[in-house]
Structure 1
Amino acid sequence: MEYGKALRFHRVKQGLTQNQLADGIISAAYLSKIENDQTVPAIEVLELLYERLGIDFNESTLNHPSKEKLKEWYEAIVFKRKDEAKLLRDELLQQKSTLDNHQLYIFYELFRIRYLFLINEVEEAYETWENLKQHKNTLDEEMKFYYQLITGLVKYYKGEYNDAFQELMEAKNYSTSIEIEDWEASDLFYLLALSTSQSNYISPSIYYAEQALEIYQSHYDLSKSADCHIILGINFGRLQNYAKSLENYHLARKIALQINDSLKLKLLYNNLGVLESRLDNHQSSISYYKKSLEYSKDLSSSINLYEFLNTIHGLITEHYKLVDFKGCSHWINEGMKKLSSYPSRQHELHFEFYKMLINDSPNLQEFLEEDVIPYFRERNKYVYIIRYSLFLSDLLEKQRLYKKSTSYLRLAIQLLNKHSNLGGIVL
């Protein structure tokens, strides 16, 4: 056992300084060397330090639930078996030493963050991650793998997709020095595919999705295979390889119908709506968006509500493209109703824009310049910066404000050159 890291863990957990723990036993400088594994102290010294921390030196590494039980819990979390994950968590909490033992506590807290995401306790997951960061210096190689992976997941949930990708790559680097099982490798590849897809790194996303898919198929995991097909469908669509995109979407739909997975069907139909929109098949796009809404029964989670509003936004834009202002107005009202229970500034701006547009509001230019475009620029939402900048450029040109029109056109073109393959929704 690495006694130094365990000592530092318990000291930090109890809010003690090195001087407070070492006082009357050894010097703070010597304790620092122990904690950094620069020296091996006498057993008597360790016993005194453990006694001050209120921990039984002999029991600290014995009589604890096996790591296999923790890994069993983690596997249930990764594969979203909520009921099983809850039962296993309750079992682990009944073992007092789960929280007393350094290694087990770290693994438990890391896995708990992912469990909290699973049950939609997102803010608590963020808080747990922040608290765990103070123990970063006590982690061994295996802990570092899970720490980087979970950190990547946290960044993903925060919408920091490029940072998520970097953290997950760090996890991949650590995975080469430890033994991970096939299901963990496929999970890592899948998360890499997700983060690269959201960062618009198309080739890496396809590569990692195919790596994950190969493992999932070898284990006959239909659900996860469908997830990979959806990511592949999105990325091939971005490459304008629409035949390959549709092939993957249809494979995903076949699986989702077979296993009766309404969540995947909702996501799938939404992405088919996006694809049909890119092909200018607006009626078909509307049909797919409406089909997605048919599967949007559970709106209890913030993620599901956000996706629901995205679909509403898609319906608004497609009706507008068909010059169907009545249909456009209907879906604007539906979206506004939902905003009363789930405020979303992003969607509020979308809905308000189209409302002002179809009503020929004289304040539309000011709204775009002062509210809409600055909001999306601050958050690097490139697809919306491009869309609204192009619209504003046309609006300004009609008013013969050519210099200002050109500036927004230039902004849109610059972003289009850098981010030419935007589109698609992943989960």
Structure 2
Amino acid sequence: MRDSVGYRIKYFRSKLNMTQAELSKGIISVSYLSKIENGNADPPEEILELLKNRLDITQNIDDTCEVEETIIQFFHNLFYKETDEADKNYKLLIKDLYLITNNDLLYLLEIHKLQYFILLKKDKQAAEQYFKLNKQSKHFSNKHKYYWLKFSAYYYFRRLSYSKALELYQQASSYLDSNIDSRIEEESDLHYMIAVTASHIRKIHLALVYANKSLEYYRSIYNLKRAAECHIIIGISLRRINEYKKSLESYQLASTIAKSIHNNRIYSLSIQNMGKLYSVMNDSKQAIEYYLKSYELRADSPPEKQVIPVSSLMKEYYIKNDLFNAEYWLDKGLQISSSLSPADSIYVYEFKVYNNLIKGFGDSFEDLILNNVLPFLKEKQLHYEQYTYLKILAKYYYNIRKYKLAAKYFDYASIVITNSYME
């Protein structure tokens, strides 16, 4: 990017102990040079050439090629989510950026840094990089726009803003052309992410269409891991349209593949979703067995993954009116989620709400729902979850004989869920 060119100018000037006044004399003003070096000005090529000539910038071609190869490898690491290798290559790159003369590659590197910060959970740096790139995006070529939109979508996806993420993934698909490296792999990865994102916001048809598209490709290249993940998305979608037998078959396929490739994460996902299926089918005994197995499989997982089966167990026991066991899993959920924020996992709010449902309503219950939970879900456009908590609030008002408020929130819940299906 241009600010990386400015970085190289600044690097060599400092290396020669040259002041800005000395470098800029007879070429441009000191203030304009300062803007170039800080990435705040986009100078014409002739100005850059004059500055480079004065600095006598000569570069070792072998070094440049080696760094460019590292960048390509860095992109590969990010695509396959090889976080350790990506981190290692990134640390090599930031020391040698001045060696890169290919501006197109520098643009791509800056855009890929957004994906890097997201994958490594460097939230502050990811936010800073997103807003920096957003200001510069009007200068992007179609190729740059593809990656910018794709990684922006992932940025919103990780922030639980699935509707915005889906919109951006679909925009990215319009820039997916022959100029994109490994186009078929990129297209299939994009289709998979559209399926996952659509599933989160219950766009069932869209999730099924794109999951099946992805599955066809991943089967053809024997990518068993991604094929199993597609089967899970398909299973979730089939469950939501009451195709329970087909849903179970999809989960079983995913489970079989996961065991064959020794992938504990996908195996736990398939087991967790089998539990949900049996819960929907009103078979609590089977549901609890699967949820317990899912919990055991996630013993070494991050808190945001552990809380999922814990939440499911809490709710299943609550539905059975087994408040003793519901409270046990509630307390475990509160403990595990204590290090999380709602932006990490919506289960954080769920445990707080169920703390009232299971242990008795406190004075802060209405405030929690009205001023915390519902605004958060509305901002993220999580309509189904909004609908769920509006019904909880309505039932609360009904039970304390505030019938007008109960009717108001039951009506609001109906409007929210109806509008979500019409989008």
Report which stretch shifted further, 341-350 or 74-83.
341-350
Which residue is equivalent to 1:107?
Answer: 108
Match of 1:235 in 2: 237
Q: Is the 8 A contact 1:65 1:92 kept in 2?
A: no
Query: Which letter maps to 2:358?
Result: I
Q: 1:257-406 counterparts in 2 under 5 A? A: 257-299=259-301, 304-344=302-342, 346-361=346-361, 363=363, 366=366, 368-369=369-370, 372-406=373-407
Quote the residue 1:71 is aligned against: 72
1:138, distance to aligned residue in structure 2 (A) = 4.2
Three-state SS of the structure 2 residue aligned to 1:64 is helix
The CA deviation at 1:59 is: 7.5
Cα distance in 2 between the residues matched to 1:194 and 1:420: 18
How far is 1:321 from its partner?
0.6
Judge conservation of contact 2:310–2:329 (CA < 8 Å) in 1.
yes
Partner Cα distance (2:209, 2:318) in 1: 37
Alpha-carbon displacement from aligned partner over 1:184-241 (angstroms, at most 9, x marks no partner): 2221211222222223322222222122222211111111111111111112222222
**Number of residue pairs matched by the alignment:** 398
Name the amino acid aligned to 1:317: K
Name 1:3's counterpart in structure 2: none
In structure 2, relative to structure 1, the CA distance for the partners of 1:112 and 1:285 (3 Å cut) is same
| Farther off after superposition, 333-342 or 217-226 | 333-342
Unaligned runs of 5+ residues in structure 1 are: 1-5, 422-427
Amino acid at match of 1:150: F
- The residue that corresponds to 1:10 in the other structure is 5
1:198 to 197, 200, 215: 200
In the alignment, the residues of structure 2 paired with residue 371 and residue 63 of structure 1 have an alpha-carbon distance, to the nearest angstrom, of 52
Which segment is superposed worse, 304-313 or 352-361? Answer: 352-361
Corresponding residue of 2:415: 414
CA drift at 1:101 = 4.4
Identity of aligned residues (%): 25
Which deviates further from its counterpart, 412-421 or 178-187?
412-421
Q: Which amino acid aligns with 1:143?
A: H
Contact 1:60 1:101 (C-alpha < 8 Å) held by counterparts: no
CA distance in 2, matches of 1:374, 1:94: 44
Partner letter of residue 116 of structure 2? Y
Deviation readout 1:13-47 (Å, 9 max, x if unpaired): 989xxxx999854799xx9xx9698xxx7x6x552
Q: For residue 331 of structure 1, report the CA deviation from its aligned partner.
A: 0.7
Q: Note closer, same or farther for the CA distance 1:167–1:385 as it changes in structure 2 (3 Å cut).
A: closer
- Report the AA paired with residue 234 of structure 2: L
**RMSD over aligned Cα atoms:** 3.6
Per the alignment, residue 156 of structure 2 pairs with 155
* TM-score (norm. length: structure 1): 0.79
What is the aligned partner in structure 2 of residue 224 from structure 1?
A: 226
Which stretch has the larger CA shift, 60-69 or 194-203? Answer: 60-69
Q: Which residue of 2 aligns with 1:188?
A: 190
Specify the code of the residue in structure 1 equivalent to 2:152: T
- For residues 139 and 335 of structure 1, do their structure 2 counterparts lie closer, same or farther at Cα, with a shift above 3 Å needed? same
Check the 8 A contact 1:110/1:147 in 2, yes or no. yes
| Matched letter for residue 102 of structure 1 | N
- Show structure 2 runs of 5+ residues with no match: 11-20
Once residues 213 and 314 of structure 1 are traced to their aligned partners in structure 2, the CA distance between those partners, rounded to angstroms, is: 28
Question: Which stretch has the larger CA shift, 121-130 or 276-285?
Answer: 121-130
Instruction: Quickly say closer, same or farther: Cα 1:194–1:400, change in 2 above 3 A.
Output: same
Show CA shifts across 1:46-95 (max 9, x none): 5214457x583887999334755533332233223345445544554565
Tell me the CA shift for residue 363 of structure 1. 4.2
- Asked if structure 2 preserves the Cα contact closer than 8 Å seen for 1:9 and 1:138, the reply is no
Moved more, 203-212 or 137-146: 137-146
Change (3 A) 1:55 1:275: farther
| CA deviation map 1:319-341 (0-9, x unaligned) | 01111010011011111222333
Contact 1:8 1:138 (8 Å CA) reproduced: no
- Distance change in 2, residues 1:170/1:384 (3 Å): closer
Aligned-partner residue type, residue 247 of structure 1:
E
